[in-house]
Structure 1
Amino acid sequence: MTNLFFFLTMFCAGITIAVQPSINARLAQRVGVLESSCISFAVGTLALLVLVLLTGKGSFRGLVDATWWEWTGGLLGATFVTATIVVVPRIGTAAAMSAVIAAQLITGIALDQVGAFGMRVVPVDAKRVIGALLLLAGAALIKGN
Protein backbone atom coordinates (compact mmCIF):
# COMPACT_ATOMS: atom_id res chain seq x y z
CA MET A 1 0.00 0.00 0.00
CA THR A 2 1.20 3.50 -0.79
CA ASN A 3 1.73 6.45 1.49
CA LEU A 4 -1.07 8.19 -0.43
CA PHE A 5 -3.46 5.42 0.65
CA PHE A 6 -2.44 5.85 4.27
CA PHE A 7 -2.71 9.65 4.01
CA LEU A 8 -6.22 9.38 2.55
CA THR A 9 -7.17 6.88 5.24
CA MET A 10 -6.20 9.40 7.91
CA PHE A 11 -7.98 12.17 6.00
CA CYS A 12 -11.17 10.10 6.20
CA ALA A 13 -10.51 9.38 9.87
CA GLY A 14 -10.18 13.14 10.38
CA ILE A 15 -13.67 13.58 8.97
CA THR A 16 -15.01 11.22 11.62
CA ILE A 17 -13.15 13.13 14.34
CA ALA A 18 -14.78 16.37 13.16
CA VAL A 19 -18.29 14.87 13.09
CA GLN A 20 -18.10 12.89 16.35
CA PRO A 21 -18.07 15.86 18.80
CA SER A 22 -21.30 17.31 17.44
CA ILE A 23 -23.03 13.94 17.62
CA ASN A 24 -21.75 13.35 21.16
CA ALA A 25 -22.69 16.90 22.23
CA ARG A 26 -26.20 16.38 20.91
CA LEU A 27 -26.47 13.12 22.87
CA ALA A 28 -25.15 14.96 25.94
CA GLN A 29 -28.15 17.30 25.77
CA ARG A 30 -30.33 14.24 26.33
CA VAL A 31 -28.25 12.22 28.81
CA GLY A 32 -25.45 14.41 30.23
CA VAL A 33 -21.79 15.07 29.38
CA LEU A 34 -20.12 12.16 31.17
CA GLU A 35 -22.94 9.84 30.22
CA SER A 36 -22.51 10.78 26.55
CA SER A 37 -18.77 10.08 26.77
CA CYS A 38 -19.48 6.74 28.40
CA ILE A 39 -22.02 5.78 25.74
CA SER A 40 -19.61 6.83 22.98
CA PHE A 41 -16.88 4.58 24.36
CA ALA A 42 -19.29 1.73 25.08
CA VAL A 43 -20.58 1.72 21.50
CA GLY A 44 -17.02 1.95 20.18
CA THR A 45 -15.90 -0.86 22.46
CA LEU A 46 -18.77 -3.06 21.35
CA ALA A 47 -17.98 -2.39 17.66
CA LEU A 48 -14.31 -3.20 18.21
CA LEU A 49 -15.16 -6.35 20.17
CA VAL A 50 -17.21 -7.60 17.22
CA LEU A 51 -14.30 -6.82 14.85
CA VAL A 52 -11.83 -8.60 17.14
CA LEU A 53 -14.04 -11.66 17.33
CA LEU A 54 -14.53 -11.72 13.56
CA THR A 55 -11.08 -10.76 12.28
CA GLY A 56 -8.68 -10.30 15.20
CA LYS A 57 -5.27 -11.94 14.88
CA GLY A 58 -3.67 -10.71 18.09
CA SER A 59 -4.11 -11.81 21.68
CA PHE A 60 -5.19 -10.07 24.86
CA ARG A 61 -2.63 -12.15 26.77
CA GLY A 62 0.04 -9.54 26.06
CA LEU A 63 -1.75 -7.13 28.39
CA VAL A 64 -0.04 -8.64 31.42
CA ASP A 65 3.34 -7.54 30.04
CA ALA A 66 2.23 -4.01 29.11
CA THR A 67 3.72 -1.08 31.03
CA TRP A 68 1.43 1.30 32.89
CA TRP A 69 1.63 4.03 30.24
CA GLU A 70 0.57 1.62 27.50
CA TRP A 71 -2.80 1.45 29.24
CA THR A 72 -3.38 5.24 29.12
CA GLY A 73 -4.65 5.47 25.54
CA GLY A 74 -8.25 4.94 26.59
CA LEU A 75 -7.94 7.57 29.33
CA LEU A 76 -6.51 10.05 26.84
CA GLY A 77 -9.32 9.24 24.42
CA ALA A 78 -11.95 9.71 27.12
CA THR A 79 -10.42 13.07 28.02
CA PHE A 80 -10.52 14.16 24.38
CA VAL A 81 -14.11 13.02 23.80
CA THR A 82 -15.36 14.67 27.00
CA ALA A 83 -13.53 17.93 26.22
CA THR A 84 -15.08 18.09 22.75
CA ILE A 85 -18.56 17.42 24.14
CA VAL A 86 -18.16 20.44 26.44
CA VAL A 87 -16.32 22.78 24.03
CA VAL A 88 -17.92 22.25 20.58
CA PRO A 89 -21.36 23.65 21.54
CA ARG A 90 -19.64 26.74 22.96
CA ILE A 91 -17.09 27.68 20.26
CA GLY A 92 -18.18 25.59 17.27
CA THR A 93 -16.73 22.56 15.53
CA ALA A 94 -14.29 24.44 13.28
CA ALA A 95 -12.69 26.41 16.12
CA ALA A 96 -12.45 23.34 18.35
CA MET A 97 -11.00 21.18 15.59
CA SER A 98 -8.51 23.86 14.54
CA ALA A 99 -7.15 23.92 18.10
CA VAL A 100 -7.06 20.12 18.20
CA ILE A 101 -5.31 19.81 14.84
CA ALA A 102 -2.73 22.47 15.68
CA ALA A 103 -1.98 20.77 19.01
CA GLN A 104 -1.81 17.35 17.36
CA LEU A 105 0.61 18.55 14.71
CA ILE A 106 2.93 20.33 17.12
CA THR A 107 2.87 17.38 19.51
CA GLY A 108 3.41 14.98 16.59
CA ILE A 109 6.46 16.93 15.44
CA ALA A 110 7.92 16.82 18.95
CA LEU A 111 7.18 13.08 19.33
CA ASP A 112 8.68 12.34 15.90
CA GLN A 113 11.83 14.31 16.72
CA VAL A 114 12.65 12.05 19.68
CA GLY A 115 11.10 8.82 18.41
CA ALA A 116 8.78 8.76 21.41
CA PHE A 117 7.20 5.49 22.53
CA GLY A 118 9.54 3.47 20.37
CA MET A 119 8.40 4.96 17.06
CA ARG A 120 10.77 5.93 14.28
CA VAL A 121 12.62 9.25 14.49
CA VAL A 122 11.55 11.88 11.97
CA PRO A 123 13.74 14.96 12.45
CA VAL A 124 12.29 18.46 12.61
CA ASP A 125 13.11 20.45 9.49
CA ALA A 126 12.21 23.87 8.14
CA LYS A 127 9.21 22.57 6.17
CA ARG A 128 7.68 21.02 9.28
CA VAL A 129 8.23 24.17 11.33
CA ILE A 130 6.73 26.38 8.60
CA GLY A 131 3.78 23.97 8.25
CA ALA A 132 3.16 24.09 11.99
CA LEU A 133 3.35 27.89 12.03
CA LEU A 134 0.92 28.11 9.10
CA LEU A 135 -1.44 25.72 10.85
CA LEU A 136 -1.28 27.80 14.03
CA ALA A 137 -2.02 30.92 11.99
CA GLY A 138 -4.96 29.15 10.36
CA ALA A 139 -6.27 28.02 13.75
CA ALA A 140 -6.05 31.62 15.01
CA LEU A 141 -7.99 32.84 11.97
CA ILE A 142 -10.67 30.16 12.35
CA LYS A 143 -11.02 30.83 16.07
CA GLY A 144 -12.04 34.42 15.36
CA ASN A 145 -12.65 36.78 18.29
Structure 2
Amino acid sequence: MSPTVFFILLALLAGFSVPTQAGINAQLNLWTRSPVLASAISFAVGTLALVVYTLVARIPLPSLGTLSGHPWWIWIGGCLGAFFVASTVILAPKLGATTMVALILAGQMVASLLLDHFGWLGYPLHPISLGRIAGVLLLCAGIWLIRYF
Protein backbone atom coordinates (compact mmCIF):
# COMPACT_ATOMS: atom_id res chain seq x y z
CA MET A 1 0.00 0.00 0.00
CA SER A 2 1.41 3.37 -0.98
CA PRO A 3 1.83 6.06 1.69
CA THR A 4 -0.76 8.24 -0.08
CA VAL A 5 -3.40 5.51 0.01
CA PHE A 6 -2.59 4.82 3.66
CA PHE A 7 -3.02 8.50 4.57
CA ILE A 8 -6.27 8.75 2.63
CA LEU A 9 -7.64 5.70 4.44
CA LEU A 10 -6.42 7.07 7.78
CA ALA A 11 -8.19 10.40 7.09
CA LEU A 12 -11.40 8.58 6.17
CA LEU A 13 -11.18 6.48 9.32
CA ALA A 14 -10.57 9.61 11.42
CA GLY A 15 -13.59 11.20 9.77
CA PHE A 16 -15.66 8.10 10.51
CA SER A 17 -14.67 8.41 14.17
CA VAL A 18 -16.14 11.93 14.61
CA PRO A 19 -19.88 11.08 14.46
CA THR A 20 -19.23 7.70 16.09
CA GLN A 21 -17.42 9.27 19.04
CA ALA A 22 -20.07 11.99 19.33
CA GLY A 23 -22.85 9.41 19.48
CA ILE A 24 -21.00 7.31 22.05
CA ASN A 25 -20.26 10.37 24.19
CA ALA A 26 -23.87 11.59 23.88
CA GLN A 27 -24.96 8.23 25.32
CA LEU A 28 -22.36 8.62 28.09
CA ASN A 29 -23.90 12.04 28.75
CA LEU A 30 -27.26 10.36 29.44
CA TRP A 31 -25.61 8.44 32.28
CA THR A 32 -23.48 11.29 33.68
CA ARG A 33 -26.09 14.01 33.04
CA SER A 34 -23.23 16.39 32.30
CA PRO A 35 -21.60 17.00 28.92
CA VAL A 36 -18.45 18.17 30.70
CA LEU A 37 -18.24 15.05 32.88
CA ALA A 38 -18.96 12.80 29.88
CA SER A 39 -16.19 14.57 27.97
CA ALA A 40 -13.80 14.26 30.93
CA ILE A 41 -14.46 10.51 31.14
CA SER A 42 -13.94 10.19 27.39
CA PHE A 43 -10.66 12.11 27.61
CA ALA A 44 -9.51 10.06 30.63
CA VAL A 45 -10.09 6.81 28.74
CA GLY A 46 -8.34 8.21 25.65
CA THR A 47 -5.44 9.48 27.75
CA LEU A 48 -5.06 6.07 29.40
CA ALA A 49 -5.03 4.39 25.98
CA LEU A 50 -2.34 6.79 24.73
CA VAL A 51 -0.20 6.34 27.86
CA VAL A 52 -0.40 2.54 27.54
CA TYR A 53 0.51 2.75 23.84
CA THR A 54 3.42 5.09 24.61
CA LEU A 55 4.75 2.68 27.24
CA VAL A 56 4.27 -0.44 25.09
CA ALA A 57 5.89 1.24 22.05
CA ARG A 58 8.69 2.59 24.29
CA ILE A 59 8.37 6.11 22.92
CA PRO A 60 10.93 8.28 24.74
CA LEU A 61 9.87 11.49 26.46
CA PRO A 62 11.35 14.69 25.05
CA SER A 63 13.91 16.58 27.07
CA LEU A 64 12.47 19.39 29.20
CA GLY A 65 15.53 21.43 28.27
CA THR A 66 14.28 21.74 24.69
CA LEU A 67 10.90 23.16 25.77
CA SER A 68 12.04 26.78 25.62
CA GLY A 69 12.62 26.42 21.88
CA HIS A 70 8.93 25.85 21.22
CA PRO A 71 6.01 28.33 21.27
CA TRP A 72 3.85 28.62 24.41
CA TRP A 73 0.67 27.79 22.49
CA ILE A 74 1.65 24.15 21.84
CA TRP A 75 -0.21 23.32 25.08
CA ILE A 76 -3.56 24.62 23.82
CA GLY A 77 -4.30 21.61 21.58
CA GLY A 78 -5.64 19.57 24.49
CA CYS A 79 -7.99 22.39 25.47
CA LEU A 80 -9.26 22.64 21.89
CA GLY A 81 -9.79 18.88 21.87
CA ALA A 82 -11.74 19.09 25.13
CA PHE A 83 -13.88 21.91 23.71
CA PHE A 84 -14.50 19.87 20.56
CA VAL A 85 -15.54 16.72 22.42
CA ALA A 86 -17.78 18.60 24.86
CA SER A 87 -19.37 20.49 21.96
CA THR A 88 -20.16 17.29 20.07
CA VAL A 89 -21.71 15.79 23.22
CA ILE A 90 -24.07 18.75 23.31
CA LEU A 91 -24.65 19.00 19.54
CA ALA A 92 -25.12 15.34 18.54
CA PRO A 93 -28.57 14.86 20.09
CA LYS A 94 -29.70 18.37 19.08
CA LEU A 95 -28.62 18.38 15.41
CA GLY A 96 -28.13 14.74 14.47
CA ALA A 97 -24.91 13.27 13.13
CA THR A 98 -25.12 14.57 9.56
CA THR A 99 -25.91 18.21 10.33
CA MET A 100 -23.44 18.28 13.24
CA VAL A 101 -20.59 16.91 11.14
CA ALA A 102 -21.44 19.14 8.17
CA LEU A 103 -21.38 22.26 10.35
CA ILE A 104 -18.15 21.14 12.03
CA LEU A 105 -16.67 20.53 8.60
CA ALA A 106 -17.71 24.02 7.47
CA GLY A 107 -15.98 25.52 10.50
CA GLN A 108 -12.92 23.40 9.79
CA MET A 109 -12.85 24.56 6.16
CA VAL A 110 -13.05 28.25 7.05
CA ALA A 111 -10.33 27.86 9.68
CA SER A 112 -8.24 25.84 7.22
CA LEU A 113 -8.54 28.54 4.57
CA LEU A 114 -7.22 31.12 7.03
CA LEU A 115 -4.47 28.87 8.43
CA ASP A 116 -3.25 28.02 4.92
CA HIS A 117 -3.56 31.58 3.60
CA PHE A 118 -1.53 33.14 6.41
CA GLY A 119 0.71 30.14 7.16
CA TRP A 120 -0.29 30.21 10.82
CA LEU A 121 0.74 27.37 13.15
CA GLY A 122 3.43 26.23 10.74
CA TYR A 123 1.16 25.39 7.80
CA PRO A 124 2.64 25.92 4.33
CA LEU A 125 1.29 28.98 2.53
CA HIS A 126 -1.64 28.30 0.20
CA PRO A 127 -3.33 31.60 -0.68
CA ILE A 128 -7.11 31.86 -0.61
CA SER A 129 -8.45 31.60 -4.15
CA LEU A 130 -11.83 31.82 -5.80
CA GLY A 131 -11.82 28.04 -6.23
CA ARG A 132 -11.20 27.48 -2.53
CA ILE A 133 -13.89 29.99 -1.57
CA ALA A 134 -16.30 28.32 -4.02
CA GLY A 135 -15.57 24.97 -2.37
CA VAL A 136 -16.47 26.34 1.05
CA LEU A 137 -19.62 27.98 -0.33
CA LEU A 138 -20.64 24.69 -1.94
CA LEU A 139 -20.10 22.99 1.40
CA CYS A 140 -22.36 25.59 3.04
CA ALA A 141 -24.99 24.91 0.36
CA GLY A 142 -24.64 21.22 1.20
CA ILE A 143 -25.20 21.98 4.89
CA TRP A 144 -28.39 23.82 4.01
CA LEU A 145 -29.59 20.85 1.91
CA ILE A 146 -28.74 18.38 4.67
CA ARG A 147 -30.45 20.44 7.35
CA TYR A 148 -33.68 21.18 5.49
CA PHE A 149 -34.27 17.98 3.47
Relative to structure 2, which stretch is displaced further, 115-124 or 17-26?
115-124
Is the aligned partner of 1:79 residue 2:83? yes
Kept after mapping to 2: 8 A contact 1:25/1:89: yes
Is the aligned partner of 1:25 residue 2:26? yes
Corresponding letter in the other structure for 2:98: A
TM-score (norm 1): 0.89
* Alpha-carbon distance in structure 2 between the residues aligned to 1:84 and 1:76: 12
Kept after mapping to 2: 8 A contact 1:102/1:132: yes
Residue 117 of structure 1 corresponds to which residue in structure 2?
A: 121
From the superposition, tell whether residues 126 and 46 of structure 1 become closer, same or farther in structure 2 (CA, over 3 Å): same
Kept after mapping to 2: 8 A contact 1:25/1:86: yes
Q: CA RMSD in A?
A: 1.9
Cα deviation, 1:71-94, whole Å, max 9, x if unaligned, reads 011111111111111111112111
Corresponding letter in the other structure for 1:25: A
Residue 109 of structure 1: how far off its partner (Å): 1.4
Give matches, 1:41-52, under 5 Å.
41-52=43-54
Unaligned ranges ≥5, structure 1: none
- Aligned to 2:71, which of 67, 70, 75? 67
Residue 8 of structure 1 corresponds to which residue in structure 2?
A: 9
* Structure 1 counterpart SS, 2:53: helix
From the superposition, tell whether residues 24 and 142 of structure 1 become closer, same or farther in structure 2 (CA, over 3 Å): same
* Structure 1 counterpart SS, 2:63: helix
TM-score (norm 2): 0.87
* Structure 2 counterpart SS, 1:132: helix
Tell me how many residue pairs correspond in the alignment: 145
